[in-house]
Amino acid sequence: MGCGQANINFTHSATKYGIVGPSMGRHVWGHFALYDRCHRPSSPRGAEDLAREVVIYSSSASAPHFQSHSHSHFRALTLVRSVPAIKAMAARRLACSLLSRSRAACSPSLSRSVFGGDRIHGSASGVPRGLTTATAIEEPIQPPVQVNHTQLLINGQFVDSASGRTFPTLDPRTGEPIAHVAEGDVEDVNRAVIAARKAFDGGPWPKMTGYQRSCILYRFADLIEKHNDEIAALETWDNGKPYEQAAKAEVPTLARLMRYYAGWADKIHGLIVPADSPHHVQVLHEPIGVAGQIIPWNFPLLMFAWKVGPALACGNTIVLKTAEQTPLSALLVSKLFHEAGLPDGVLNVISGFGPTAGAALASHMDVDKLAFTGSTDTGKIVLELAARSNLKPVTLELGGKSPIIVMDDADIDQAVEVAHFALFFNQGQCCCAGSRTFVHERVYDEFVEKSKARALKRVVGDPFRKGVEQGPQIDEEQFSKILHYIKSGVDSGATLVTGGDRIGSKGYYIQPTIFSDVEDKMKIAKEEIFGPVQSILKFK
């Protein structure tokens, strides 16, 4: 993400929230930082520090014992004791808008008020009626959108890759190609960096006032809202997430995030420092230059916003590499950015693969700052490439293994729903997914049974269908990885409570899966699965 050169940094932390109950006066503590924050060296702690905190609230009971694990970002710890006040607190936070809208769009228990009909109940077999395994393998719904942009965006123009090569982006519902997209490599990254450097050194963008830049960001947000349905449909088609989640939560949040950054553009002020000598000491914040940005496939639009928004607000220029699995929505919204008045060369978008385009961007000598979101293993490579080139500063947002703790005085029904949403939202493809659920032994059996019942009611199917909570996983590689972890859980002695298999023979659908009797030493308790697999552990 772009940032001021004088140690002003924009970053974002993982979602985390604690919920405390009767013995604590029913207070709700929360930090929902799904949007980027500006912090200065004088701040007591930055967002990166917050992402590494583990918060446990307990008063009457002794602290639960569990083994913690080392991760680049120790994501989210949730203590569930009593949850009536969660909605009131959530309403105060921008990110909670995303969470609450997504939950309303994806949860059958909330579907009556949102969609005007009763929720879809599970059948006796545990497979939801109307969206059974057979439905999942039916002819998929034709998406209500066309793919118009498949080239690279360099210096304000859509162009072919220098090599002329393309690669298919696949429909997760079928595994079949949606379109063939230009495959950027080293030469294309270099072309994009040259355009970004020219736009920064000689173009108007960094010389504009913050207010002038904010006007363009505000116009872009207006265009996002105007094209909401088109953008959401493209995101669903390319990613597999439920259309209602994309249209009602993520695209509106994209617009809201851009307005948030637009508001910051003219509020980044300098500092006058008292001097011991007869001198005038002043700190000014300037844009850092060309920002290289690499985003993942699980939230393409929101990752676009979190990377591009703060960098542009501060006056930087950008070379953005999309995930090879989901290149389409970033190309569409980047076109809208230019319609909003963004000068040529300020935002350049390269579609391609990590070992070629990603590595070229990370190691480029003329990139001044790098931001990467993805796996921990790839993050290590990115950091090394940046260090070996020009020691460019790097912002990393990597993997996580977030725990949820359910105490014995919790409202079990609400705790089950919160834990279910925290894990299964977005097909479990969240770096802050609550994938380890620690439950007090006194309520363990009840929690497991009610979690099973909730999972069996989860509506899985074509993400364009109304009422669907869970679509397919992103691609065959991730699909196979999840099934491998499920097999590992069974082999290591955990109890497979429900799920554990694919749905149908076409596409990348996986049954909502729950394991009980999970132990800390098991892979499913230690490693990030990134799929619809809930591990329930017992503590005293």
Would you name the residues annotated as active-site residues? 397
- Report the distance separating Cα 166 and Cα 41, nearest Å: 45
Burial (0-12, 13-18, 19+ Cβ within 10 Å), 164? exposed
| Contact indicator for 192, 154 with CB cutoff of 8 Å | yes
Q: Which residues contact 142 (CB under 8 A, 6 or more apart)?
A: none
| Contact indicator for 255, 166 with CB cutoff of 8 Å | no
| Contact indicator for 425, 106 with CB cutoff of 8 Å | yes
Phi then psi dihedrals of residue 359, to 5 deg: -65, -40
- Report the distance separating Cα 185 and Cα 85, nearest Å: 50
Which residues share a beta bridge with 448? none
Give the CB-side neighbour count of residue 497, counting CA atoms within 13 A. 24
- Report the distance separating Cα 353 and Cα 523, nearest Å: 28
| Contact indicator for 131, 468 with CB cutoff of 8 Å | yes
Query: How distant, in Å, are the alpha carbons of 115, 138, 165, 243 from that of 248?
Result: 11, 25, 36, 8
Q: Give the pairing of strands 369-373 and 290-294.
A: parallel
Q: What angle do CA 319, 322, 327 make, to 5 degrees?
A: 130
- Report the distance separating Cα 166 and Cα 10, nearest Å: 34
| Contact indicator for 28, 63 with CB cutoff of 8 Å | no
Query: Of the candidates 459, 501, 512, which has an alpha carbon nearest to the alpha carbon of residue 128?
Result: 459
Which residues share a beta bridge with 283? 271
- Report the distance separating Cα 273 and Cα 268, nearest Å: 16
Query: Of the candidates 414, 408, 292, which has an alpha carbon nearest to the alpha carbon of residue 349?
Result: 292
Q: What angle do CA 403, 418, 416 make, to 5 degrees?
A: 95
Q: Reduced to 3 states, what is the DSSP secondary structure of residue 509?
A: coil
